[in-house]
Every structure is written in C-alpha cells, then in structure tokens.
Chain A
Amino acid sequence: MDNLFLALTLLFATAAIVMFLVHRLSLPVYPAYIVAGILAGTVIDPELFLDLAYLGIVFLVFFIGLHTRTEHLSREWRSITVISLVQIGVVAGVTFLAARAVGVDWQSAVLVAMAASLSSTLVDQDIVEVEVRRNLLHGRLAEGFNILQDIAALVLISIFLGYPLVSGAVHEAGIVLVVLVAAFLFRSAAPRLMTVVTRQRPELLMMTGLAVMLAVVVGMEYVGSTAIVGAYAAGVLFSQPVKNADLRDSLDPLRDFFIAFMFLFIGALIVVPAPAAVAVAGVLIICSMILVPVLVFLGLLWTGHDSRTAYLAASRLDQISEFAVIAAIIGVITEVVPGYMFQGILLAFAVTLVTSALSTRYAEQIYERLFKEMGVQESGRSMERSHVVDDLSDHVIVAGYGNTGQALVEHLSLDDIPLVIVDYDPEANRAANENGISHVFGDLLHPVTWERVNVTEARLIVSTTPHPQVNSTIRNLAVDATKIVIDDRAFDHEHGSVITVSRPQLSERTLRDILQYHLETEITGENGSRDDS
C-alpha cells in the first residue's frame, strides 16, 4: 500500500505541476503524464502495478471505441474509405519495405508501418467533436479518417501478434473483423437495453458498461485473441451518442486515472535514446507530420474538396497513434521488439503530440501562409462543381450556405435580383444545386473565388458565418457593395457600407419575446403554441 500511494502521489503531483506550467498551450494530458511517468519510474518499480497499467490500456481503447460516431459520415464514406486505403497502404507499405530493406525484423517492421501510417484519435478529439457537432466538413472528415485508422490499427495489431504464422495472422485478423462487425450491428440496441435495465442510475450505468466491457475483453482473451480488440468492440457497442452521456462522463475520470499507470510503465522503460532510436523517431515524425497529411490533403483535393477543408482535415492527422504506442509496449514486454524501436516510437509520439497541438491551434494561420503567400492555386476540379449564371452583375453574394445561409435564402424574397452562393463544403453546394440556386464552390479566403463571383459588380455581400477571417476579408474587399458581416462579440451597428450583426443579440431579442409570451400565457392559462420563428 505504501508503494501504491507513493506512486500515485508522484505520478499525479508531477503531472499536475507539468500541466500547471504548460496550461496556456492547451496541450492534451499525455505529455504531462509522460514526464510524470519518467520521474515516478525512477523511484518505483512499475512491475508492481502491471495490472493497473494493463487496465489503463484497456480503458484507453474502450474509450476510443466509445467515441466512434459514424452517423455524420454517410455522404463522405466513399472518399474517406478510398483515401484512407490509399494513404495507409502507401505509407504502411513503403515504411514496412524500407524497414525490411535496412534489416529490421518482421514484427518491428509491422510496428513501424503502423506508427508511420496511423494517427491518434484522442489527441484532437475534443476539438473534432465540437466541429462535428457544428456540422463542419473538415471535422466530419477527420472523424471518418480516425475511425478507419483505428480499425486498421486493430487489424495491424492482430497481425503483429499473430506472427510468426501467416495463418495465425489471418485467423487473428478474421476474429477482429467478426467482432467489430458484431459490435457495429448491436450498437443501437445495447445502450437502449442498458438504460432500461439500470433505470438510468449513473452509478449502475457505469458498472454494467464496465461489466460488459470486461466480459468481452476476457472472452477475447479466452478465444486466444487480443483484449485490445475486445475493449474497442465494447466501446463501439455503447457508442450510440443518445443516452450514453452518463456512461461517457463516468468513464472519463476512470481513463484519466488508469492511464497514469500506463505512463508509469512507459516512463520506467524510457532511457536516453540511442542513435538508432532517434533515427526511427526521425523517420516516424516525418511520416506522420508530413507524409500522411500531404497524402490525405491530395486525396481530398482529388475527390473534389477545396484546399482549406482538405488542409484542416489533413492537419488533424499529424501525430502518432495511441495504438502504435500500445503495440510497442506489448512488443517490448514480450521481447519481440528491440528496445530502440520502442524508444523511437515513444519519442516520436511525444514530439508529435506537442507539434500537433500547435498545428491544430494555428491551423488557420498556417493554412494562410502556405496557400496565400506561397501562392498555391485552387485545383481545377472545384470549378466543375460550380454552377454560375454568366455575367453576374448587380447581384447579391451570400458567403456560406450552411445552416445560417440556408435559413437566410429561405426567408429572403429578392424579386429579380440575382443571388449567388459561395461555399467550400461539397454538401452545401449539393444542397444549393438541389434548390436550384447559383453557387460557386471555393474558398472564401481566396481572391480567385471572389473574382469568379464577379465581386466588383455586386450590389450586396453577405456573410453567414462567424468565421473572423471570412468576415474581415469581406469587410476589406475594395468594392462598392454594401456588406453585412457577423461579429458575435460586437453589438449590432452600421458603419459606412458595412452592417455588423451579432448573433447572441438576435437570440437574446427573440428569446425575450418568447419568454414574455410564455410567461403571459401561463398567467392567463392559455396553452402556449410552438413558435418556430
């Protein structure tokens, strides 16, 4: 017990201090845990907490599975699948062959291929989840890539563990696929059943969730397969977002607690990296920071996305996957993978965690620099998606055909004034096409796009997105047109030809009326009818 509390104190105190020092960078929790693990690992024998470390891995994978959401992806599945297959195939294939060529053993080569080709799901998860909820295209795409990469990771892990028998590897991969398919099939029934059984008591929801997860994990071990696949499948089983909020809330702290031991374990295995480890890390860092994002970016351009969406989605994929780290731990414990390989993967993981947090944070700025100042052109394919009336003049340009844009166009009666929409989301353009509205597919921050809608002749330019750069671009367009822009932080005002609209103010005014309405009907006893306006 003394040891347990000493370990816990060291682990969490170090992690907390590191977090306090770096809290302004809004990094994920892992880097702090790595430092904590290294420090605590010098004092404590991690072998004592092997079971807790193992539970940490299981919880981590369960958690990844739990966050698998597929319902936003229906229209993008095809391009995501094709791009993923090509990207994983190319990167994994090349790194695998290269590793074999320089004399690396089979299993290490599989590990390198996995680390090089796959990216982390959990690192950007909070951000991606918000983007998906807001129905942003690049968030949906990134989520799709993450899911396919996780499945690929499970298959690669099973191959990695199934070696040396080829038949064993195939057998393993087969089990993995069967279990995953089963999990995806039952994922709508399982959470519903569970909420009924537990009467929605959070404590019991957690207990039954854990019980099912452990049953699947132990079952997988029993049939001789890997527990990791079981944990992921169990997560998928409960991943239907409706009504699993309590389960996710209660598992969040469990994961944060148990992965500390995983990092204690990792920390104790870390030594000053050998040159070979640095070389491995270097290759992996180049692959995951540059090669993977570039391939995905090109793939997205090729499937007809604009450069901004493609860049933002691809930049979410620039770190090493947790699954590679887990496989490396397993490899080093079972002594099938040399120490330098483990060191290299871990080093690359640590480095890319920090760089990826920064690249996500400054994604817009990096995109600007890369594509504006370096003058990368929009691909020609995007033109094909546009439908514009020739020689537009005296027209209204609506920037963005998302939720706000669609509502706006619906409520707008313009008589004969021509209207054109600009958006970068293929789905928005598809919607515009269906509604028979002129539209241009392109990036609002790119001058070419504005030329194509003949901005100099426009009568009115309207922004429907709160995106600050889009709004400042519109504000700064050197044209005569009246401009309506959105700035949620400002108050409604008119300044010259620029009208600024603040959305919280709109909501506030409307809600005021609605509250007033309901409060009054309540007093008079009338039945409040629904007001959609």
Chain B
Amino acid sequence: MNVFAVDLVSFAVIVGAVAVLGVLAVWLKQPTIVAYIIAGIVIGPAVLGWVAPTTLIENLGELGLAFLLFLIGLELNVREVRHMLDSILLISIPQMVLTASFGGLIAVWLGFSVVAAVIIGLAVMYSSTAVVVKLLTDTGENTVTSGKLDIGILLVQDVVVVILMAVLTVQAVSLQGFALNTVLILGFLCIISMIAMLSGRSLMPSVFRHMAENPHYLFVSGLAWCFAFIYMAEYANLSPEIGAFLAGLGLAQMPYSMELRERVRPLTALFMALFFVDFGLGLTLAEVTYYWREALIAAALLMAGKFAIIFSLVKWQQYTLRTSFKAGINMTQTSEFSLIFGAVAVSSPIVLEVAPHIGDKSAELMGFLTIIALTTMGLSSYLLMYNRDITDRVQPYLESVFGKQRKSDVEHQQFSGHAVVLGYDDVSRMLLPLIEERFDTVVVVDRDPDTAQELEDGPYVHIFGDFHHKELREEAHIADAAAVFSVSEEYEVNAEILEEAGSADIRIVSAAIREDRDRLYEEGADYVLLEHELAGKTIASHIEAALKPEVRTDG
C-alpha cells in the first residue's frame, strides 16, 4: 500500500541496475562511471525501455553534480601540490590548448561543423578526475611524482571547466550582450569567491569548531553552507555547480573538511550514479550509435594524442623519462566533464544563437561524446592499473630513443614504513612520543575538534576525521605502514584494520571485552589492549602490596 502515491519502482530499477553493473565493473576492473552510463542506456529507451527519465532522478542527478563540485572544491587542497604548482600550471594550460586544438582538428577531419568541432575540442581536453584519482589511490601511485603531477593537472582542469560552464550558461542573444554578461558573471564569480574565502578563513572555522563535536551537526552545517552558495550563485544567474564548487573551496583549508568530505562522499556517489544513469536514459540507440565509427576513430586518436601531449610537456618541464611516461599514460581518457560540458554547450543560448544547426543534432553529438568517454575510460583504466609494469617494459626503448637517463630519479619516496595511530586519547597521547622516536613519520587520525589544533602543531601528520571511514585509513596509507595502533574498542573496525594493515610489523588494537580480544588475536593482532584486564591485574598487585605487611604481622 503506497499512501504517498510515490512511484519507487523506477527508482528501484535504476538503483538495481546500478548495483548489478557496478559489481560487474569492479570484477572486470572497470571504473564505475562506465557501468552507470551503460546502466542508463540499457534500462532506458535505447535498449530495454524499462524506465523513462523522471523528475526525481533528474533532480537528484542535478544535486549529484552540485555535490561532485562541492567535493572537488573541498578536496582542492593547494598545500599538497604547492611545491610543484609552477610546473603544474606550465603543463596544464598548454596541455588544454593543445588537446582542445587536436580534438577540434579531429572533429573537423571527421566532418563536423566548425562550431561542433569547437565544442568537441573543449569537451575532450579534460581527463577524468574520478577515474584517475580513484585508481591512483588504489595503487598507491597518488604519492609519487607522476601521480601528484596528474592530480595537480586535473585540479587546474576542474577549475577551468567550472569557469567555462559559467560562461556558457550566460543568457544572451547577441555577441555584445554575451560579452557584457560574461564580464558581469565573472565579476559575480569574484565576489562570491571572495565571500567564500573570507568567511571560510575567519568566521566559519569557529562556527564549525562547535559543530564538529557532533558528526550529524557537522554534516548539516556543511550542507547548509553548500546550499547557501548554490542559492547565491543561482541568484546571480550562475550555475549551481559553481556555487557548490566555491562553497567547497571555502571550507577546504579547515581541518574538519576531511570528515565533511567522507560524509558528503556517499551522497555524491549515489547522486552522481543517478546523474549518469539519467544521462544514459536520455539517449536513444539511434542517437548513441549515429556517429559510432567517428567516435571510435576519435577515441583512438585522442588516447594517443593525450598521452603524447602530456608526455612531452612533462618531459619539457625537466622531469625524468619515467615520470613523464607514467604521467602521460595515466591521463589518456576523456572526463565525465566532457559529457556535462557537452550537455551544457549544446543547450547554451549563445551557441544556439551562433550556430542553430547544433540543436538539430545535439543528441547525436552527445552520443558521440558518450562513446568516446566510455571507450577511453574503459581502456585507460587498465593502463592506470598496470602503469608501473608498462613503464618498466617500455623504459629500455624510451632510453634508446631519448638517450640514457642522466638525471637521478626525482620520484618521491612512497609514504610507507610509517606508524599510523588511529584515535587520539589518553593512552595514545602518552604513547606518541615513544612512537615518534622510532618512526620517521607518524600519522594520527582523529576526529575530536578539541585536540585538532594540538595535533596540527605537533610533529605528526594529522588527518582530521573518523578513522572508522575506510577512505581515511587509506589516506593514512595503513596498508604500507610498519606499525598500526588503534584505540577503537569496536571489534568490527579493528578486524578491518588488521586486515588492511596485513603487512605491518606491529599491529596493536584495543578491545572492550575478552571475547573481542580473543577474536582479535585470532585475526593476527600482535597485542590487544584490554584496559579492564590491565587494570584488574594491577589492582590485584596493589591489593597484595597493601595486605602484605598485615599478612606478615598475622603470621
């Protein structure tokens, strides 16, 4: 009995398809984005016709996009890539110009009109943040130079796409009006960024400090902040995504942003999946396959071109052959933004004003971009996963072409062999100096805002957030740690920690009751801290000591 008269069936079908194809994708080592788009195409009018686009899905998809940009803003921590910011800018800007021109030329060669070619060029110049960052983190390559460079380049691309989309949504019917409005919009953009930055720096940290005590409160105030900026952006005729992006950026430098990220991530994952499904739902089979030959040719050329451009630019910036090669093969796919940007572009008032014919073939154009995205993302995920092996194989040939390496390898050491302390309480506080003596790097993960400052100032690497989140433990590189110490008394969490830290020499966890302690020993803990047991034992010795003299007098 559905008293609300709400149709959950299509929602259920969509989520079901997403789950099934998502599982399939993971088994085939494919990025989930590919699975979601295909899910939309399969259950939508293109193939099975089970589900038609609904406002619920469309609304949630739109929200997903906003959350994605909020998340990107939150993760835009300039500090991490600051020392290579110069080379990142010098690589990424020419890279985008070159890739866009290359993509545009391919499009013209394949018979697209000039305006369509410009749109295609601008759409394919980005590589996929979602695919690259995820896979680099999985393989630990995000901490080596090539990975850091790629992530930096992706950040710049994200900023560029945000600005380009803002410009394209300008409501104008003439070129002069367009220019004027563009200036206005960029002005608004500056004002809102200023508000975000200033309040993010002065007012908000103290507010969030209070809210961070309760994770629900932190989450709600983070969302409030995000939506406030989205609304402001809409008010200024900007797209909601820009507001979300700036909101995220404003909060990014706060220590609580990490915890907020982990809470926003599930929402983003769900809603982005719905976004891609909704995207797939909007395509018919005829539209998807209209340009399929052209799309496959373009995909092949783009993969080669993207690699060549990044490889040369990175090499030009005096990085080693190995780093340049890896940086290149990581970035051979087009981005989810090629679809988002494409969709914005083909419905943009100014584009339709300049070239009305785009409107006639807009769905086919999107089909073209979709096939390119699916193919390049699918293939590049294997390149990303095996980038080390591929580089090893290719290196001799590279050296014979470019000459033997003279310069020493500048790749940074992997973040490994360190100690990870999960939770900062009385016990770990007293223990940290000892651990710090023995390990070069000590990573402390904790979510108490009261001690956040203390940890930031200390000699440790501090990650603010709840170590119950798997992502945060990955962030601490628990898999490569030499020692792991967890203060959590939750058996389930500790069991996961023991599994993840399989290669650590020392794994110390805590338990609240004996059964948990015994189980944790079975799972391989080196020591399980059971405060009760220790206390009982020590008090027993206290008792014996206290009774001793009397016992003696009795005897």
Q: What residues of chain A have their CB less than 8 Å away from a CB belonging to chain B?
A: 1-2, 4-6, 8-9, 12-13, 15-17, 19-20, 23, 26, 29, 32, 50-55, 58, 133-135, 161, 197-204, 206-208, 210-211, 214-215, 217-218, 221, 224-227, 241-246, 249-254, 256-257, 330, 333-334, 396, 402-415, 417, 459-460, 462, 464, 482, 484, 486, 488, 499, 501, 503-508, 510-512, 514-515, 518-519, 522, 528, 530-531, 533
Rounded to whole Å, the gap between the CB of A106 and the closest CB of chain B is: 17
Q: Knowing that A211-B15, A333-B4, A503-B535 touch, tell me 4 more A-B residue pairs with CB under 8 angstroms.
A: A207-B270, A462-B539, A507-B427, A514-B508
Q: Mark B449-473, 1 if CB is under 8 A from A, else 0.
A: 0000000000000000000111100
Give bound CA distance, A199 to B527, whole Å: 28
Does A501 lie within 8 Å of B539, measured CB to CB? Answer: yes
Which residues on A sit within 8 Å (CB–CB) of B62? 1, 4
Does B531 lie within 8 Å of A411, measured CB to CB? Answer: no
Which residues on A sit within 8 Å (CB–CB) of B540? 407-409, 411-412
Does B26 lie within 8 Å of A15, measured CB to CB? Answer: no
Check: B210 CB closer than 8 A to any chain A CB: yes
Does B492 lie within 8 Å of A245, measured CB to CB? Answer: yes
Does A464 lie within 8 Å of B506, measured CB to CB? Answer: no
Contact among A9, A55, A404 for B536, CB-based, below 8 A: A404
8 A–B contact pairs at CB < 8 A?
Answer: A16-B224, A133-B489, A207-B269, A215-B16, A407-B537, A408-B535, A499-B546, A530-B526
Contact among A224, A407, A504 for B1, CB-based, below 8 A: A224
Does B492 lie within 8 Å of A241, measured CB to CB? Answer: yes
**If A245-B492, A406-B536 touch, does A251 touch B266 (CB 8 Å cutoff)?**
yes
**If A16-B221, A506-B534, A511-B427 touch, does A51 touch B6 (CB 8 Å cutoff)?**
yes
Does B220 lie within 8 Å of A32, measured CB to CB? Answer: yes
Give bound CA distance, A405 to B211, whole Å: 38
Check: B290 CB closer than 8 A to any chain A CB: no
Which residues on A sit within 8 Å (CB–CB) of B59? 1, 4, 52
Does B224 lie within 8 Å of A12, measured CB to CB? Answer: yes
Q: Which of B23, B215, B493, B496 has the most CB of A within 10 A?
A: B23
Give bound CA distance, A519 to B445, whole Å: 22
Check: B530 CB closer than 8 A to any chain A CB: yes
Does B224 lie within 8 Å of A15, measured CB to CB? Answer: yes
Rounded to whole Å, the gap between the CB of B30 and the closest CB of chain A is: 12
Q: Which of A215, A250, A488 has the most CB of B within 10 A?
A: A250
Contact among B434, B495, B546 for A460, CB-based, below 8 A: B546
Contact among A13, A224, A225, A251 for B228, CB-based, below 8 A: A13
Give bound CA distance, A409 to B540, whole Å: 7
Does A20 lie within 8 Å of B227, measured CB to CB? Answer: no
Does B493 lie within 8 Å of A245, measured CB to CB? Answer: yes
Which residues on B sit within 8 Å (CB–CB) of A221? 1-2, 8
Does B427 lie within 8 Å of A504, measured CB to CB? Answer: yes
Does B214 lie within 8 Å of A23, measured CB to CB? Answer: yes
Within 460-514 of B, Cβ neighbours of A (below 8 Å) are at 468-471, 483, 485, 489-493, 495-496, 505-506, 508, 512-514
Give bound CA distance, A501 to B468, whole Å: 30
Check: B435 CB closer than 8 A to any chain A CB: yes
Does B23 lie within 8 Å of A204, measured CB to CB? Answer: yes
Check: B533 CB closer than 8 A to any chain A CB: yes
Give bound CA distance, A445 to B210, whole Å: 35
Q: Which of B224, B427, B431, B492 has the most CB of A within 10 A?
A: B224
Which residues on B sit within 8 Å (CB–CB) of A511? 427, 431, 485, 508, 527, 529
**If A257-B267, A402-B532, A484-B546 touch, does A203 touch B22 (CB 8 Å cutoff)?**
yes
Which residues on B sit within 8 Å (CB–CB) of A54? 4, 6, 8
Does B230 lie within 8 Å of A5, measured CB to CB? Answer: yes
Rounded to whole Å, the gap between the CB of B50 and the closest CB of chain A is: 13
Contact among B4, B431, B542 for A501, CB-based, below 8 A: B542
Closest to B534 in A: A506
Which residues on A sit within 8 Å (CB–CB) of B489? 133-134
Give bound CA distance, A50 to B59, whole Å: 13
Contact among A15, A29, A246, A417 for B470, CB-based, below 8 A: A246
Which residues on B sit within 8 Å (CB–CB) of A412? 540, 543-544
Contact among B2, B217, B269 for A206, CB-based, below 8 A: B269
Does B266 lie within 8 Å of A250, measured CB to CB? Answer: yes
Does A405 lie within 8 Å of B536, measured CB to CB? Answer: yes
Does A215 lie within 8 Å of B220, measured CB to CB? Answer: no
Q: What residues of chain B have their CB less than 8 Å away from a CB belonging to chain A?
A: 1-9, 11-12, 15-16, 18-20, 22-23, 26-27, 32, 56, 59, 62-63, 207, 210-211, 213-217, 219-221, 223-225, 227-228, 230-231, 234, 240, 262-267, 269-270, 273, 425-427, 430-431, 434-435, 438, 468-471, 483, 485, 489-493, 495-496, 505-506, 508, 512-514, 521, 526-527, 529-544, 546-547, 550-551
Does A2 lie within 8 Å of B22, measured CB to CB? Answer: no
Give bound CA distance, A246 to B103, whole Å: 41
Does B56 lie within 8 Å of A203, measured CB to CB? Answer: no
Q: Which of A52, A246, A405, A464 has the most CB of B within 10 A?
A: A246
Does A404 lie within 8 Å of B470, measured CB to CB? Answer: no
Does B227 lie within 8 Å of A5, measured CB to CB? Answer: yes
Which residues on B sit within 8 Å (CB–CB) of A508? 426-427, 430-431
**If A16-B211, A214-B8, A499-B542 touch, does A161 touch B1 (CB 8 Å cutoff)?**
yes
Rounded to whole Å, the gap between the CB of A296 and the closest CB of chain B is: 26
**If A221-B2, A396-B543 touch, does A407 touch B234 (CB 8 Å cutoff)?**
no
Give bound CA distance, A482 to B94, whole Å: 79
Contact among A58, A198, A334 for B23, CB-based, below 8 A: A198
Does B550 lie within 8 Å of A459, measured CB to CB? Answer: yes
Does A199 lie within 8 Å of B26, measured CB to CB? Answer: yes
Does B426 lie within 8 Å of A460, measured CB to CB? Answer: no
Give bound CA distance, A109 to B259, whole Å: 45
Rounded to whole Å, the gap between the CB of B1 and the closest CB of chain A is: 6
Does B266 lie within 8 Å of A253, measured CB to CB? Answer: yes
Does A512 lie within 8 Å of B434, measured CB to CB? Answer: yes
Give bound CA distance, A334 to B4, whole Å: 8
Which residues on B sit within 8 Å (CB–CB) of A13? 224, 227-228
Does B23 lie within 8 Å of A519, measured CB to CB? Answer: no
Does B426 lie within 8 Å of A488, measured CB to CB? Answer: yes
Rounded to whole Å, the gap between the CB of A227 and the closest CB of chain B is: 6
Give bound CA distance, A413 to B531, whole Å: 21
Does A23 lie within 8 Å of B512, measured CB to CB? Answer: no
Give bound CA distance, A5 to B217, whole Å: 20
Give bound CA distance, A15 to B216, whole Å: 11
Give bound CA distance, A524 to B434, whole Å: 19
Closest to A403 in B: B532
Give bound CA distance, A252 to B496, whole Å: 19
Closest to B529 in A: A507
Closest to A198 in B: B23
Contact among A161, A218, A484 for B542, CB-based, below 8 A: A484
Does A5 lie within 8 Å of B231, measured CB to CB? Answer: yes
Give bound CA distance, A417 to B540, whole Å: 14
Which residues on B sit within 8 Å (CB–CB) of A330? 3
Does A334 lie within 8 Å of B3, measured CB to CB? Answer: yes
Which residues on A sit within 8 Å (CB–CB) of B265? 250
Which residues on B sit within 8 Å (CB–CB) of A244? 492
Rounded to whole Å, the gap between the CB of B503 and the closest CB of chain A is: 13
Rounded to whole Å, the gap between the CB of A131 and the closest CB of chain B is: 11
Rounded to whole Å, the gap between the CB of A417 and the closest CB of chain B is: 7
Closest to B134 in A: A203
Closest to A129 in B: B490
Closest to B216 in A: A29
Give bound CA distance, A467 to B2, whole Å: 49
Which residues on B sit within 8 Å (CB–CB) of A199? 26-27
Closest to A3 in B: B59
Which residues on B sit within 8 Å (CB–CB) of A464? 535-536, 539
**If A23-B210, A207-B19, A253-B219 touch, does A510 touch B3 (CB 8 Å cutoff)?**
no
Closest 10 CB pairs of A and B: A407-B536, A403-B532, A408-B536, A504-B426, A250-B266, A214-B12, A211-B19, A12-B224, A16-B224, A404-B532
Does B26 lie within 8 Å of A198, measured CB to CB? Answer: yes
Give bound CA distance, A149 to B123, whole Å: 56
Give bound CA distance, A409 to B544, whole Å: 12
